[in-house]
């Protein structure tokens, strides 16, 4: 809020915002697909947070093996069967939720952070800064991001952190474009002009006045991107450029299990389904959130 706002105006703004939220929540509830998405996502978060203490064979997560029970088909003792080292596939899949969510969130947050900074600078300063930053972003968007991420990840070496960095490096241009557009639009609005006239510095204006007002499209994009971030992490794992063993990452579990198809199909089926479910959940949720928070995009 700008410095000149009266307490009254502030109160009514808060009330209006609250009402917006209520309306949004109502719209969200109207769409059962979004609810399904939310349910899946909540389930994932539960698995990610509490998973390791819920699973039947927690030792397997850190690489515990039991070669006496290799390749057992799904049963009561092993809901999703066991793999080539006798590890419980159910345990690994549940434990994988934490890895996937964590890396998905990290990729999206890093990408959004970098993109926001670039986009805000470009949009605010305009001119040459804008020109250069945006041309780089445009060029980046024309390059095949998966191949680039693979190349960077391979050069950095295996490991979850390296994978995340590699993907985040290809992730920022979308945010930069989005933020730049919003910043240019907001820059012209009255409250920013006023703040500028009152002598607020660039950093302060961006941080206090512009960015808070463009958070919702960023959040919408982040939630829409979560699914794809998870998918990309899994893709790298599947190609074999990803985490180190014994990290139970879904994509790499699938890539290993590929060799045991069709006879030991369960080792591949469940990690694959987990990836699908996670991406699907976030996409449903993101779709719902977009309808709610960004009504302009509603169709």
Measured distance CA(220)–CA(196) in Å, rounded: 29
Structure tokens at 213: 């007002």
Q: Does 111 bind another protein (CB under 8 A)?
A: no
Which residues ranging from 267 to 296 are in contact with another protein (CB under 8 A)? 268, 272, 275-276, 279-280, 283-284, 287
**Shortest separation between residue 283's beta carbon and another protein, angstroms:** 5
For residues 257 and 267, is the Cβ–Cβ distance under 8 A?
Answer: yes
Helix (H) or strand (E) holding 50: helix 32-54
Which residues ranging from 9 to 38 are in contact with another protein (CB under 8 A)? 33
Q: CB neighbours (10 Å) of residue 30? A: 12
Q: Does 227 bind another protein (CB under 8 A)?
A: yes
Q: Does 142 bind another protein (CB under 8 A)?
A: yes
Measured distance CA(14)–CA(259) in Å, rounded: 58
**What's the Cα-to-Cα distance from 289 to each of 27, 192, 219, rounded to whole Å?**
9, 27, 9
Q: Does 245 bind another protein (CB under 8 A)?
A: yes
Measured distance CA(209)–CA(55) in Å, rounded: 47
**Shortest separation between residue 63's beta carbon and another protein, angstroms:** 5
Q: Does 179 bind another protein (CB under 8 A)?
A: no
When binding is defined by CB under 8 A, the residue of 238, 248, 249, 293 that contacts another protein is 238
Q: Which is nearer to another protein, 55 or 166 (CB)?
A: 166
- Contact residues for 39 (Cβ-Cβ < 8 A; gap 6+): 281
Which residues here bind another protein, judged by CB under 8 A?
33, 62-65, 67-68, 70-71, 84-85, 135-136, 139-140, 142-148, 150-152, 154-158, 227, 231, 234-235, 238-241, 244-246, 251, 254, 256, 258-265, 268, 272, 275-276, 279-280, 283-284, 287, 299
């Amino acid at each position: 809020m700008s410095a000149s706002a009266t307490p009254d105006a502030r109160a009514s703004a808060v009330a209006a915002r609250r009402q917006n939220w209520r309306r949004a929540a109502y719209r969200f509830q109207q769409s059962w697909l979004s609810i399904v998405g939310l349910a899946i996502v909540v389930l994932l978060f539960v698995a990610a947070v509490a998973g390791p203490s819920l699973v039947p064979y927690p030792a397997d997560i850190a690489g515990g093996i039991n070669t006496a029970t290799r390749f057992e088909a799904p049963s009561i003792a092993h809901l999703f069967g066991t793999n080539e080292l006798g590890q419980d596939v159910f345990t690994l899949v549940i434990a994988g939720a934490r890895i996937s969510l964590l890396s998905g969130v990290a990729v999206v947050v890093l990408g959004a952070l970098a993109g926001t900074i670039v986009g805000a600078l470009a949009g605010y300063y305009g001119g040459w800064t804008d020109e250069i930053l945006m041309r780089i972003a445009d060029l980046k968007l024309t390059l095949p991001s998966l191949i680039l991420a693979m190349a960077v990840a391979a050069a950095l070496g295996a490991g979850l952190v390296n994978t995340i960095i590699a993907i985040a490096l290809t992730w920022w241009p979308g945010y930069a474009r989005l933020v730049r557009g919003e910043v240019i639009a907001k820059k012209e609005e009255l409250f920013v002009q006023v703040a500028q006239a009152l002598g607020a510095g660039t950093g302060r204006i961006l941080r206090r006045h512009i960015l808070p007002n463009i958070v919702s499209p960023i959040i919408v994009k982040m939630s829409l991107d979560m699914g794809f971030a998870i998918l990309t992490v899994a893709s790298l794992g599947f190609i074999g450029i990803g985490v180190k063993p014994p990290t139970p990452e879904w994509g790499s579990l699938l890539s290993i299990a590929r060799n045991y198809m069709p006879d030991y199909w369960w080792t591949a089926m469940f990690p694959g389904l987990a990836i699908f479910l996670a991406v699907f959940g976030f996409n449903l949720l993101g779709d719902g959130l977009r309808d709610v928070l960004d009504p302009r995009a509603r169709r």
